[in-house]
């Protein structure tokens, strides 16, 4: 039972980290001050993910 709770907690932490990465990238895209490759580098997302996010925001 304890192991299952640890897996759930770990999954929650990963999801939280993912959400933070995307939120960070969104703010950078909105600022218009950085190149897509720099946004990918600083946010921890792939360049493809950043480009997809930008397209979804348009």
pLDDT along the chain (58 residues), means of 10: 83 90 96 96 96 95
Site of tokens 């960070």: 24
Contact 22, 45 (CB under 8 A): yes
> Where along the chain do its domains lie?
2-57
pTM of the model as a whole: 0.79
Q: What is the C-alpha separation between 50 and 4, in angstroms, rounded?
A: 33
pLDDT at residue number 40:
96
């Amino acid at each position: 039972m304890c192991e299952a709770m640890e897996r759930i907690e770990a999954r929650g932490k990963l999801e939280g980290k993912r959400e933070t990465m995307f939120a960070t990238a969104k703010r950078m895209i909105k600022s218009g001050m950085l190149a897509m490759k720099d946004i990918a580098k600083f946010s921890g997302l792939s360049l493809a993910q950043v480009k997809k996010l930008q397209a979804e925001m348009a």
